[in-house]
Structure 1
Amino acid sequence: MGNCCNKEVSFKSTSNSEYLRTGTINIIKRNYLGNQIGVSKVSFENTPPIKLQTSIGSLGNRSIKIHGCIIPGLDPRGEIVKECQDNYIFFIVNNSVLCALFDGHGKEGQKISTFCVEFVGSYLKKYLNKFETNPEETLSKMLEKCDKKLNRSKIPNEMAGTTAVAIYINANNIYSASLGDSRAIIATISDVYIPAPIPTHNFYKPISVKRYLKPVALTTDQKPNHEDELARIKNAGGSVEQVTDEFGRPIGPYRVWVKDKDFPGLAMSRSIGDRIAKRVGVIAKPVCHDFKLYEADQFIVIASDGIWDVMENIEVVNFVEKYKNQCVESTDLYPAKPENSSIARMLCEEARYRWYGIIEAEDVMTDDISCILIELDEISSASNIPVKERNVQAFLSIAISPDINNTTSTDKDLNLLLD
């Protein structure tokens, strides 16, 4: 994330809890060396949310609210029409919850994420009893079977696919299954203060909370430069490299390639779809976890990287904690504020607001932004109930030197990247 050079923030409302629909940003112009040579003033109008939902139910003796929101990405210059590729679905049934969120990529990403949402709905109806008796295995099979059925469908998915996060919750436990870099966290009461990072640009709203909460990861991002993932990809004949610019400098995340080719360029090691990447070690077997649900747990956030790319876990937790009890409705009105927005929409709007800082510094498009937010009602004795440490099974990351993968030997074409 780059620094913003201009102190004028035209999208900033007079209220810290409002988000405007129109405004102006100042995109930095750079020369071939990366030095700033000027500023381009760009005015644009944001797209409203395309999917807003709220449901009320229960988990055992705890009442819950589930909110969902999707805000499409946007090219601020208006030169590219971007199709939203995020989608989600959630159910409250038999005192349990099933949520699934997908972030598509590639030419058919929107069709694939929609296919997955429809598949999950059908799968739950058919195998509800299996979710209740063996939730972790059922979640895993659901995503693997979704990948197989997609492969048999008429949707081209050789160079397109989607991430996936599926969460099943009953009165006592949380079960997760994930593919790619969409993510889920849970916020729990803590007696330890966790500092939030200091933003590097002006596009953020100060957040202060009255109590300490701790984010606990429910999923782990799956990147191709993680040790086990890298070994599997190399054994399958693939390579893992960064894109390089015209001067041989690495750009962006590590990506999966067919060896000595300039495709597919996938920035994750597991996904649904992506048939070509599957030939070189990318898999559709999700990483699964199960966790105890405690009375101290306050809410769960499931989101695409449109949020995680601009907000750290603790920032998301503090933002939701600050505004969740102020939110009343779920509309697409502007200016967006707690009085006319769900907490899921407020979180998506804050993430989009932070994207303006990246746009100004790096001249990029806003990513699609989506989330599901599950509010758990508060229990007065929650702070007195001991909470055991919960950790996801993290991958070991390694640095890949150019000597290992010959990073600079191939000029990867940026136009071929999928995400």
Structure 2
Amino acid sequence: MGNCSNNEASFKSSNNNDYLRTGTINIIKRNYLGNKIGVSKVSFENTTPIKLQTSIGFLGNRSIKVHGCIIPGLDPRGEMDKECQDNYIFFIINSSVLCALFDGHGKEGKKISAFCIDFVGTYIKKYINKFETDPEETLSKMLEKCDKKLNRSKIPNEMAGTTAVAIYINANNIYSASLGDSRGIIATINDVFIPAPIPTHNFYKPVSVKKYLKPVALTTDQKPNHEDELVRIKDAGGSVEQITDEFGRPVGPYRVWVKNKDFPGLAMSRSIGDRIAKRVGVIAKPVCHDFKLYEADQFIVIASDGIWDVMENIEVVNFVEKYKNQCIESTDLFPAKPENSSIARMLCEEARYRWYGIIEAEDVMIDDISCIIIELDEVSSPSKTQVKERNVQAFLSIAISPDINNTSSTEKNLNLLLD
């Protein structure tokens, strides 16, 4: 995140809990050395949430609320039409919860995430008994079969695809399967306070909580510069490099390329779709985990990188803890505030608010933002001593030297990259 100076943004409200519809931000202009040379004032109107849902049910004897929200991304300058490519689905069936979230990318990303929603909805209803008897294997097969069926469909997916997070929860356990960099976490009661980082810009709502919580990862991001993933991609004939700007400087995350080519430029090592990337080591086999569910567990958050790119896990946990009991109803009204928003919308609005600071410093677009939040009923005296350490499969991220791909350093032009 970049630093912003003397910000005159008009997204401020007399009520610190409100998120406004319109405002003005100051985008920093920089020269080729990255030095600030001026400021460009940009006024814009925020997009309205396009999907808002809330359902109630039970996990065994424990009552739950499930909330979902999608906020489309936006080009603040209005120079590009941005089609929302996020989507989600959830079910409460037989005292269990099944949910899946997808973040599409590429020209057909919206169609692909919608295809996945249709496939998952049908699959869950057809195989609900298998989720109860063998949840981890069934989640994994669901996403792999979705990828295969997409490949047989008429939707072009050579240079387009989607991330995926699918989670099954019953009264005793949580099972997850993920592809790409969408993420799931669970908040559990903790004995000690975990400090949250302070953003380096002014666009955030200060949060203080009375309850100490700890975020526990339910999924692990899969990036091409993770050591095991990199080996597989290289063995398949691919390369992993960053893109370069007009001055040859590396920019952004590591991406997957066909060796000596400027495509596909995929910033993840596993996904649904992305046929060209599949030829050079990207796979659709999800990373799966299973965990015990404890009385000390408070809520689960599943979200696209529209949230994780601007908020750390502990920030998300503290934000949800502060506002979840204040939220009264779910609407798409502005100004958005606890009285007219679900906790899922409040979290998405906070993430969007933080994107303003990124825009001012880096002149980028606001990403699509989506999440599912599963609130678990409070247990009167949860036992923290029974909670055992829960860890996801760890990947080792490594820096990649220009010659690691055994090829000359091929500049990947930012303008050629399909987002």
Please tell me whether residue 275 in structure 1 is matched to residue 252 in structure 2: no
Please tell me whether residue 42 in structure 1 is matched to residue 29 in structure 2: no
Please tell me whether residue 257 in structure 1 is matched to residue 278 in structure 2: no
Q: Are the aligned partners of 1:102 and 1:162 in contact in 2 as well (CA < 8 Å)?
A: yes
State the match for 2:15 in structure 1. 15
Please tell me whether residue 179 in structure 1 is matched to residue 179 in structure 2: yes
Q: Are the aligned partners of 2:100 and 2:164 in contact in 1 as well (CA < 8 Å)?
A: yes
CA offset at residue 407 of structure 1?
8.5
- Residues in 1 aligned to 2:269 and 2:346: alpha-carbon distance in whole angstroms: 31
- Residues in 2 aligned to 1:84 and 1:406: alpha-carbon distance in whole angstroms: 38
- Residues in 1 aligned to 2:389 and 2:312: alpha-carbon distance in whole angstroms: 20
State the match for 1:110 in structure 2. 110
- Residues in 2 aligned to 1:132 and 1:46: alpha-carbon distance in whole angstroms: 41
Evaluate the alpha carbon distance shift between residue 384 and residue 413 of structure 1 in structure 2; reply closer, same or farther with a 3 A threshold. Answer: closer
Deviations 1:66-115 (A, max 9, x none): 00000000000111010000000000000000000000000000000000
State the match for 1:222 in structure 2. 222
Q: Are the aligned partners of 1:241 and 1:407 in contact in 2 as well (CA < 8 Å)?
A: no
Deviations 1:234-288 (A, max 9, x none): 0000000001112221100000000000000000000000000000000000000
Q: Are the aligned partners of 2:234 and 2:405 in contact in 1 as well (CA < 8 Å)?
A: no
- Residues in 2 aligned to 1:385 and 1:407: alpha-carbon distance in whole angstroms: 53
Q: Are the aligned partners of 1:328 and 1:339 in contact in 2 as well (CA < 8 Å)?
A: yes
Q: Are the aligned partners of 1:265 and 1:416 in contact in 2 as well (CA < 8 Å)?
A: no
Evaluate the alpha carbon distance shift between residue 236 and residue 406 of structure 1 in structure 2; reply closer, same or farther with a 3 A threshold. Answer: closer
Please tell me whether residue 411 in structure 1 is matched to residue 411 in structure 2: yes
State the match for 1:136 in structure 2. 136
The more displaced of 26-35 and 67-76 is 26-35
Find runs of 4+ consecutive structure 1 residues off by over 6 angstroms.
none
Deviations 1:213-241 (A, max 9, x none): 00000000000000000000000000000
SS of 1:382's equivalent in the other structure is coil
CA offset at residue 415 of structure 1?
2.6
State the match for 2:64 in structure 1. 64
Q: How does 1:334-349 map to 2 (within 5 A)?
A: 334-349=334-349
SS of 2:129's equivalent in the other structure is helix
The TM-score normalised by the length of structure 1 is 0.99
Which consecutive unaligned segments of at least 5 residues does structure 2 have?
Answer: none
CA offset at residue 375 of structure 1?
0.2
CA offset at residue 405 of structure 1?
3.2
- Residues in 2 aligned to 1:416 and 1:102: alpha-carbon distance in whole angstroms: 24
What is the letter of the counterpart of residue 320 of structure 2?
A: V
The TM-score normalised by the length of structure 2 is 0.99
Q: Are the aligned partners of 1:295 and 1:385 in contact in 2 as well (CA < 8 Å)?
A: no
State the match for 2:160 in structure 1. 160
Deviations 1:280-303 (A, max 9, x none): 000000000000000000000000
SS of 1:19's equivalent in the other structure is coil
SS of 1:404's equivalent in the other structure is coil
- Residues in 2 aligned to 1:269 and 1:417: alpha-carbon distance in whole angstroms: 17
CA offset at residue 34 of structure 1?
1.1
- Residues in 1 aligned to 2:384 and 2:263: alpha-carbon distance in whole angstroms: 54
What is the letter of the counterpart of residue 137 of structure 1?
A: E
CA offset at residue 406 of structure 1?
6.7
Q: Are the aligned partners of 1:242 and 1:407 in contact in 2 as well (CA < 8 Å)?
A: no
State the match for 2:333 in structure 1. 333
The more displaced of 246-255 and 362-371 is 246-255
- Residues in 1 aligned to 2:187 and 2:337: alpha-carbon distance in whole angstroms: 23
State the match for 2:243 in structure 1. 243
SS of 1:334's equivalent in the other structure is coil
State the match for 1:120 in structure 2. 120
Q: Are the aligned partners of 1:244 and 1:408 in contact in 2 as well (CA < 8 Å)?
A: no
Deviations 1:162-196 (A, max 9, x none): 00000000000000000000000000000111110
Please tell me whether residue 296 in structure 1 is matched to residue 296 in structure 2: yes
What is the letter of the counterpart of residue 38 of structure 1?
A: G
- Residues in 1 aligned to 2:99 and 2:314: alpha-carbon distance in whole angstroms: 22
SS of 2:298's equivalent in the other structure is strand
State the match for 1:211 in structure 2. 211
Query: Quick one: percent identity of the two aligned structures?
Result: 89
Which consecutive unaligned segments of at least 5 residues does structure 1 have?
Answer: none
